[in-house]
Amino acid sequence: MEPTVILVFGAALITALATGLGALPLAFGAVRNGRWLAIGNAVAAGLMLAACYSLIVEGFEFSATRTLAGVIVGVGLILVANHWLKRHNGHSIASVQGADARKILLIVGIMTAHSAAEGVGVGVAYGGGRELGDFITIAIALHNVPEGLAIALIMVPRGATVTKAALWSVFSSLPQPLLAVPAFLFVLLFAPWLPVGLGLAAGAMLWMIFAELLPEAQSGIGTEGLGATVVMAFAAMLGVTLLLG
């Protein structure tokens, strides 16, 4: 069966819903402030670091120049967003307020940009045929589960419920079904911008890792614990990516 608009939208919607599954492991244990916060930051950093690697490698397959340009733009945009959030206090998200709410807003915003690039990827893939589109959809859906875990690991230790973390994870992935359809219908228009979007998401994620997550994690579990946790999370995420490749 040839790809249709309904098929593309449904496939991309499945990838978005899969993100919410990442919060489920946190429902089986109490994860709140203190040491768990540091461990959550370290695991999230490792997962996101592996995601950045995958995004950049994928972007380079299309255009190294546009991918690198996207990385630079991504860093610039996240700096502007962070500066704006610091100047305007009183943020609240998922019953979390203050500086913790700022971090959650940043991570949700970054993952939303990431999802936009993935949504374009799904649509462009289906533009190349049903078989390629199905494969990319399955790969992204499975890849989204640990990304949902990364979001939950930022939100739950800071006071959000697992349910709210799951819903915000799904929310961050809504650009996938919304952008997959137009990308499928206008492949030639969207394809050149795909590496830019991949690089943009990677650049914003890298800033979040090194400016926010790692310093906070180090203060809670020390340098050795931080290094071991980040590497293990990175290896696990990269292993999943390699298996899907």
**185-215 tens-digit pLDDT:** 999 888 899 999 999 999 999 999 999 889 9
The answer to whether the CB of 122 falls within 8 A of the CB of 132 is: no
Whether the pLDDT of residue 130 is over 70: the answer is yes
d(CA 177, CA 141): 12
Residue 220 confidence (pLDDT): 82
pLDDT band per the 50, 70, 90 thresholds, residue 136: confident
Domains of the chain, residue spans: 5-212+224-244
The Cα angle at residue 23 between residues 22 and 24, in degrees rounded to 5: 95
| Beta strand extents in the chain (DSSP E only) | 92-93, 96-97
Residue 131 confidence (pLDDT): 86
Phi, psi of 92 (to 5 degrees): -145, 130
What is the pLDDT averaged over residues 78-92?
80
Residue 142 confidence (pLDDT): 86
In Å, what is the CA distance from 147 to each residue of 1, 9, 42, 223, 242? 31, 21, 14, 24, 16
Name the one residue in this structure whose structure tokens are 């926010």: 212
pLDDT band per the 50, 70, 90 thresholds, residue 102: confident
d(CA 93, CA 113): 18
Mean pLDDT of the chain: 87
pLDDT band per the 50, 70, 90 thresholds, residue 240: confident
pLDDT digits (tens, 9 = 90+) for 26-76: 887 655 556 777 888 899 899 999 989 988 998 999 999 999 999 999 999
Does the predicted model carry a pTM greater than 0.85?
no
Count CA within 13 A, CB hemisphere, residue 221.
Answer: 21
Structure tokens at 238: 């990269």
If 0-12 CB within 10 Å is exposed, 13-18 middle and 19+ buried, where does residue 63 land? Answer: middle
What is the pLDDT averaged over residues 216-225?
88
Whether the pLDDT of residue 94 is over 70: the answer is no
What is the pLDDT averaged over residues 14-24?
93
